[in-house]
Structure formats: C-alpha cells, structure tokens
Structure 1
Amino acid sequence: MSFSLTDWLVAPAIRLDKGEGLAESLRCLREFNPRFFIVFGGDAEDVLWLHETLETEAGHPIVFAADLERGAGQQFAGLTPLPDAWALGMLGKEACYDAGHRTATEALSAGVPWVFGPVLDLHRIGGDSVSSPIIANRSFGGETQRVIECASAWMHGLADGGAIACAKHFPGHGGCSQDSHIETAVCFEDPEEHLKPYRALLDQIPTIMAGHIEFPLIDDEMRPASRSPILMDILRKDMGYDGVVVTDSLRMTGFGDGPHEELAVEAIHAGCDLLLDPEDPVVLAMSLRHAMDRGDLAKERVEEAVARLEKLTLMALESKADAQRPIVMGAGAKRLLKPLHGGAPGRSRFPRPEIALALASTPDANSFLEDWGVAVLPADTAPPDDIPEAMIILCGAREGHGLPQLPGAWLDAISHNHPVVYTAGAPEAEDLTPANIKGFFLPGISPALLALLFTSDEK
C-alpha cells in the first residue's frame, strides 16, 4: 500500500475505556500510516503492550499521547491520580513540580511520552468575570501570575521526569461562557490577557494545543483559533513559535459546522500541524491525500508540519523516565478543606460520607468512591428517604455537563435533614448548598483530593 506525507497529520484516538483498542488502531495502520495516537483509559500495562504491538506492526516509531492534567492515574488504571490544577495552584510551586514529575515518570512507564497538559487557561470568578464551565478546576487559578508560576513549575517537573508537555488551549479558553465540546465557544474579550502565560513560558513549551475558541475582536470571520490564520499568526509570527501545534479534538462542536475534511485543510493552512481525534481517521487521511494531489492543500505547508512532527518523534524516542521521587504535598494539603458558608461541622467531627451525588463527575472519581463503599448517584436520582449523616456533591469541569445547579428535590432534602456536605469540584461549586449547611469544599474532583475525606491522619 502506498503512503502519503499527509498521513503524518492525522492522530486517531484509541478509546480503551470504551473497548476500542487493537482492532481500531490496526484498521488505521492498514489503511494509512499514522505516527501519533491519543489514548483514553485502560490498564497501564495494557497501554504499554498496545504501544509495543503497534510499533512492531507499523515498522516505525509510534507516539502515544494522553490527557493527563491530573496525573497518569487520570487515564490509566494502576497509576497515581493527582490533585486538580486548582488545588495545585493553592498548594504552590513545589507541589506543581512534584505533580509534573510524577506524571512524567508514570506516563512513560505506560509508553506515553507526550502529555496533553498543562492547562494555561485563566479561570476568573466573581464580579463581572466571564468563566468557562469546562475549565474551572482544571485551571491553576484566576490570577495570571499564579497560572504562569504554577504551570512553569509543573512543566519543569514534567521535563525533568522525561516527558513532553503540551500547553493548552491556545489562545485561552477561560474567557468564554461556553463548553467547546458541545457548542460554539466565543470570547468577546481581547485575547492579550489570556496570551500572557504563553508569552511568558514560550521557551519552555515544546508543543501547544490550539483550542476551538472564537475571538471576534481579532478574527471577525468568527473562526476558532484552530482554523484562524489571524489567531495562529499571533503564535507563529508575532511570537515566533516553531514547535508542534495540535488541534483540540475534531469531534468537538467548536471546530465548526462544515465538512470536516475541508475544515481540516483550513486548520493545516492556518498553522496547525496535527489533527487530533477525527470521527473517522481513515476517511480524513484519504481526503487529505486527495486535497494535496488536487492542490487544495499546499504541499509546502504539509512538509513544514511533517518536519516539526519528525522532531517531536525524535524527542519522544529520546524520552527516558527519571527515577520516581516521592510526592510531598505536605501538611498544606489540609488547608484544601475549606469550610462551607454554614461553617465546619466541628473541630473533630468528620463523618465519613455514605452517598455521592454526581452532578458532574469523572470515571476515576466515581470508581474511587465506590471502592470506599460510597454509593454514587446520578444527578436525576431522587433523594433517599433517609439522608445519611454525611454526603458528597461532585460538581467539576466535565464535558457536556457545564456547572449544574443542585436539583430542587435534593436542595429540599439537604435543607430539611442538615447532613454534613462535602462539595468537590469547580470553585463555583462552593455555593451550591444552602447557606446554613455545614461541611467542606474541596477544589477539584480528583481521587487524590477525595482521599482527604477517608484518611483520618489528613484531618
């Protein structure tokens, strides 16, 4: 079978969490010649085996990437879940470095050298601030300098641990009120404040993910950054960035309404080098071949992208895991438990939660709680007749969920029974419960944070 330079530009997804593994990835290798895959879920040993199998089948290096903002345990069973970025921002630069280092060493143990993180988006709250429901606890904070310092420390740790960072979501997803997974995301602000982390850290960032966010003050054609030559020129020309730029998932609504084959060509011409997670990678790969043959996709732009991707492949081949070091979050982790507006339940009273209401949660958080014997209830579940002494409300940044409100039936049940409530998730989730309810707020939904509720010496 003949292959094309354009095959480099397509990065399929392997969704082990949905039972899609070897068969789908081998289909891609039979039909075209991908070099990059993004991996979701699975056991760490299975991911490593799959990587080795695909490299053998392909006869050339394959680079695995993964979303690991909360540590390698965010995706891969058997590895360590780490605190959300918002919590790391509260703990400080040393905790951020340690988290980045552990993420790298464990990701490499699973054959994943390319880490999609950190998030450089600002999440501002209060006043007239506009904030994104999909960023929230994934951000290091709302203050630009805190984001710069914490992201820098995290990337230093990741690099020292041996892995490759991918900062996201350029030019900034924090200033729009929409979730680009399920709707068009528009930021009506000047992007300059959102660009500051990129300008400050550019020399430290080996790769960047372009977000599907529109900035009409800059591009009045209302194209998302991933397809906007104007916005990408800020990165490529004004900042002089020559590293790999990968799009966010092409399956997201924010990428655009038209035929994805045409939108993908726009993204490459705008300055992106790699097209992530298309609906059908084989169809997209074939369409890019034909587009270049017809002259609709500039060959020189493809060659430029491939040259960058070749350099990234060499970086991945040279990635060697550093010796794993202990994670020392320190006694400061205790201060992550912030009393709710109704106050703390008492100096020594930390009843163990028996149920969790999942307004917007993640699979690893749900699994962790179930392992501790906590019943995880979907948001549309009616409250039990007997509300237990303590419960958890999970309300973090989760695609397609926004930042939901507490259902009325649950609000009434909590107001009437007065359980101790642990609210975990986005900063705004602190205000979910009635003002007289006692309990604590946790900044995120990572199992690493939820563990504070079950480990007596942390209390």
Structure 2
Amino acid sequence: MDARTGADLAGMANAVLQPGFVGKEPPRWLRRRLAEGLGGVALYARNVVDRDQVAELTAALRAEKPDVIVAIDEEAGDVTRIDAHTGSPWPGNLALGAIDDSALTREVAGHIGRDLAAAGITFDYAPDADVNNDPGNPVIGSRAFGAEPERVARHTAAWIAGLQEAGVAACAKHFPGHGNTNVDSHLDVPLIQAGRAELDAIELVPFRAAIAAGVQAVMSAHLRVPSLDPELPATLSRRIMTDLLRGELGFDGLIVTDAIEMRAVAGRYGLANATVLALAAGADAICVGGEHADEETAAALRDAICAAVVAGDLAEERLADAAARVARLAAWSAAAPKTAPDPRATAVGLSAARRALRISAPDALFPLGVPAYVLEFQPELNLAIAPETPWGLLAPLAELVPATTGARLSSPDGLPAALEASQGRPLVLVVRDPHRYAWMTQALQAALAVRPEAVVVEMGVPAAPLGDVHIATFGATAASGRAVAELLAGR
C-alpha cells in the first residue's frame, strides 16, 4: 500500500466517524482531525451553554471543514441536549402521540428544525420511531409516540417532514425497533423475541413510514433479534442492516450507529472491533464520544478501520460507499434551505403541552386555592437523558405561586417527614413511571392512604391511575411541567 493509497484510506476512515468532545469550543485535536477529513461531530449537553454559544461553536467547526456534519441528539422531549440545562420547551413524543394531531407534530418539528439550523446544527438523531409496546421499557418510554404502530408511524413521518423542511436531516431510530424490551442497551444486550410476522406488523411499520417520508438517516439499535439474525446484534448484522434495511425496505440514505461505546456492543466485541463490524454490516457512520470523547479514541477507530481494510476484514468498496453516503448527507444539509426561528415557537410548545394533559377529575377542582406542598418521587433516569436536565412541578408551580414548597425523594425514607410538612396544605404527588418502581408505587399508595384527596401528577408513561385526582402529562419536559403548574395555579 503506497503513501497515497494510505492517505486516501485514512481519509475515508475519518469521514465515517462522528466523535464527541469535551468543552464549549472545539479542542485542538478536533480542529486538526477536521482538517484531515473527519466527516462529522456529535454534540452533547456538555458542549452546550446556550444557542448563541452553540452557533459560535458550530461556526468554528466549519472554519476547519465547511461541510462537516454537526449532529445532536435533540428529541426535544425528555431527551434534549440544546435545552439540557433548562428543560425542553416542547412536550415530547409521547405527548404529541397522545394529542394525535399529525399537523401539530409536523409544526413542532419544524420549529425544532429552525432552532437547530440557526445554531448551525445539520443532523438530528431524531425522531424516535420505536413502538413502546413494553410498558416496562427502561430506555424508550415517553421518547416514543406511543404503543400503537400506526400512530407511531403517522407521527414519525410528520416529525421527519417538519424537521427536514427546516433544513435539518432527520434520523429515525432505533432500527429495527427498541420498544419491545425491558433492557437498556446502554448497559446490556436487549433481546427482541418477536417473529418476522410480528416485526412486520409492529416494529417495522414506523420505519417503513419514515423511509416513505424521505428520512435522510436511520440509526441502528444495539439489540438482538434472533428471528432476523440468531447471532449478531442489529448494528453488527449484515442481515439486518443491509439485507433488511437496504434490500427489503429500500432505504438508500445514511445508516448511523447508536453510540458504539454502549455496552451492548462494545462490552462484548470491543470498541474498535464493533466499529469495523458495524461498517462491514452496512453502517455508514459511527457515533462515538458519549463516554470516549477524546483524540485517542478517534485515532484508534480510524486506525482500526484502516487496518481492517488492509487485512481484508472490511472491503475497501464498502468503506468507500460509506464515506460517499456521509458526503451525500453533508451535501444535502448544505443545500437545504433554512428558515429563521419563529418567535411564536415557545407559545406553540406550551399550547401543545396543555393539549396533552389528561385529567381524571372535574375542572372544578382547580385551582388549588392556596399554596401547595409538592412531593416529587425521583426515579433512576435512563442514560439517554442528560443528568442535569431539570424536571418536575415544584419549580414551575413555585414560580406561579411563590409560597409553594415541597421535597424530592429518591426512596421512601423521607415520606413520613414530607407528609407531616404537607399538613394543612393541598398535596401534589409527582411521579414518573411508578409501575416500573416498586418503592415508588408503595410510597405513592402510602401517601394516598394518609391524604386520599392528593393530586397525582404522572410525568412518565401513564399506567393504571393511582388516586382519585390524576393528571397525565406524557412526559417530564419544562413545557409539560409549566402546563400542569398553570392548571393548578388557575392560570
């Protein structure tokens, strides 16, 4: 292999990587790698202060490589990066699915796209096209539009249309479907036991709709589906990535992996080997850097890709095809017309959050009349949610009714003291997915035994309501919290 061929090979290997980094501006190693042909960069909450800072950051990236793909995981629900420090001003997918107005979903996604485009972001790892048909799912939940395939398909297509009309490439995830599992692929390998007929009737329905809607990208899932491939997880399976997604479903856009360092693949196959196997299976871009956000990782993956081609483990034609698809997405992003953000966007988000509320009690119960005591139950958040993202009802209700007080519990230990502190005031109990946490269900039942008139606010996936007065928000975004706070405050 001569020097020119080696340089070309390294350039293609760089092109298929989408690493993350630490800091609010590009580090020197990233600038250098961009000049060497790095195809994309993934932004995380750690890279975000506000929109002006992100715009400066993306401009600095483009100063090194004008057509670099700048990606972010902005579902604009409970999973948000651009609003990780304040909470999303949008109600999220499950709430949009509950409203079931495709035109609204398209409008919301259009506003999100305008916002991202103005900040210089060209590629969004969204929407979530999973059918959340396992209520115990620890990683999808309110990120999905719902549990019915056709509903999810309608809103997936609408979200894609709205986002891409704003000039930002959409990415349907997590193929071939991550909804029917109770394992988080950040931590282990989920198993989808559905047969092919069931997959066609449920999991694949939204992805067919996404492809028909012209989605620019599809993200692979790190899970096993034995009916499709008895050995390899989807990200590493040619049967799933190439034969099914490319061949049967006819998808011709970019295939990007979910974060390749997730334990479901890297834990068993190793980071570098998983990267090579993913490319060989049909992936075109490798997302990395949620945890391994450094030059050493980016260099090691580039070198592993080059070595695999030299060894014959990865066909050079396959790598060239992947790099070409990355370039094609970059060209689409550069050419797509952009529209300035609409100043009405925040009002649209809040209005949507209000429409999503489902209340089991008559409206006459509200407002509460006097300042409430808000008791929030803190679950373990899945790893897709930035840990700094605020949620809940205490803060927004206290903003509207300043004498509001309360507490947040992550176990039942503080419940007696909290109930004592709430005496003489309306009590609001705020939960997220209590059906998934025995301690939370028990604590909620214990609280209602003492205070049966308490208002229960469910900010996760609604299951069987507990309590006579139950409000479901279908998500824990800032918009959802504000909508409930307004209701309770009589605003």
The residue identity in structure 2 corresponding to 1:315 is W
Aligned equivalent of 1:12: 19
Q: CA deviation at 1:84?
A: 1.5
Of 285, 309, 312 in structure 1, the residue corresponding to residue 302 of structure 2 is: 285
SS at match of 1:154: helix
**Structure 1 segment 204-219 matched on structure 2, within 5 A:** 204-219=214-229
- Judge conservation of contact 2:78–2:142 (CA < 8 Å) in 1: no
Q: In terms of mean alpha carbon deviation, does 43-52 or 369-378 score higher?
A: 369-378
1:315 aligns with 332
Q: Does 1:262 align with 2:262?
A: no
Choose which of 70, 74, 82 in structure 1 pairs with 2:90: 82
- Distance of 1:346 and 1:254 partners within structure 2: 50
Letter of the 2:475 counterpart = G
**Residues 415-426 of structure 1 correspond to what in structure 2 (within 5 A)?**
415-418=449-452, 419-426=454-461
Pick one of 92, 107, 114 that aligns with 2:116. Answer: 107
Residue type at the aligned position of 1:121? D
For 1:150, the equivalent position in structure 2 comes to 155
Output the amino acid matched with 2:299.
V
Determine the C-alpha separation between the residues in 2 that align with 1:196 and 1:187: 16
Which segment drifts farther, 367-376 or 147-156?
367-376
Give 1:219-298 correspondences, 5 Å limit. Answer: 219-221=229-231, 223-232=232-241, 233-256=243-266, 257-278=268-289, 279=292, 280-298=297-315
With 166-175 and 404-413 compared, the bigger mean Cα shift is at 404-413
Equivalenced residue count is 438
Query: Are 1:97 and 2:110 an aligned pair?
Result: no
CA displacement, residues 306-347 of structure 1 (integer Å, 9 cap, x when unaligned): 11000111112123322444454697754533345xx56953
Match of 2:56 in 1: 49
Partner in structure 1 of residue 415 of structure 2: 383
Give the Cα–Cα distance (whole angstroms) in 2 for the partners of residues 89 and 122 of structure 1. 11
Identity percentage over the alignment?
A: 23
Provide closer, same or farther for how the CA distance between residues 180 and 332 of structure 1 changes in structure 2, counting only shifts above 3 A: closer
Structure 2 residue identity aligned to 1:66: I
Question: What is the SS of the residue equivalent to 2:124?
Answer: strand
Structure 1 residue 90: Cα displacement: 1.8
The one of 22, 25, 28 aligned to 1:22: 25
Shift of 1:66: 1.0
Q: Quick check: which one's strand share is greater?
A: 1
Helix, strand or coil for the counterpart of 2:97?
helix
Whole-angstrom CA distance in 2 between matches of 1:348 and 1:296: 65
Report the 3-state secondary structure (helix = DSSP H, G, I; strand = E; otherwise coil) of the residue aligned with 1:14. Answer: coil
Structure 2: 5+ residue stretches without partners: 1-5, 399-404
Whole-angstrom CA distance in 2 between matches of 1:318 and 1:71 = 28
Q: CA deviation at 1:276?
A: 0.5
Determine if contact 1:148/1:197 at 8 Å carries over to the other structure.
yes
Contact 1:345 / 1:439 at 8 angstroms: preserved in 2? no
Q: For the structure 1 residues 202 and 321, does the alpha-carbon distance in structure 2 shift closer, same or farther, using more than 3 Å as the test?
A: same
Range with bigger deviation, 419-428 or 376-385: 376-385
- Tell me by how many angstroms 1:74 deviates: 2.5
Superposed displacement of residue 286, structure 1: 2.2
Check conservation: 1:64, 1:113, Cα contact below 8 A: yes
Taking the aligned partners of 1:155 and 1:59, their CA distance within structure 2 comes to: 27
CA distance in 1, matches of 2:68, 2:91: 29
Tell me, in whole angstroms, the C-alpha distance in 2 between the residues paired with 1:209 and 1:292.
Answer: 24
1:126-145 matches, within 5 Å, as 132-145=137-150
Q: Distance in 1 between matches of 2:123 and 2:364?
A: 45
Secondary structure in 1 matching 2:127: strand
Q: Do the aligned partners of 1:72 and 1:81 also contact (CA within 8 Å) in 2?
A: no
Structure 1: runs of 5 or more not aligned: none
Contact 2:455 / 2:470 at 8 angstroms: preserved in 1?
yes
1:349–1:360 Cα change, 3 Å? farther
Displacement of 1:300: 0.5
Note closer, same or farther for the CA distance 1:292–1:50 as it changes in structure 2 (3 Å cut).
Answer: same
8 Å CA contact 1:47–1:110 kept in 2: the answer is yes
Partner SS for 2:337: coil
Tell me the amino acid that sits aligned with residue 40 of structure 2.
Answer: F
The RMSD of aligned alpha carbons is 3.0
Structure 1 contact 171–211 (Cα < 8 Å) conserved? yes
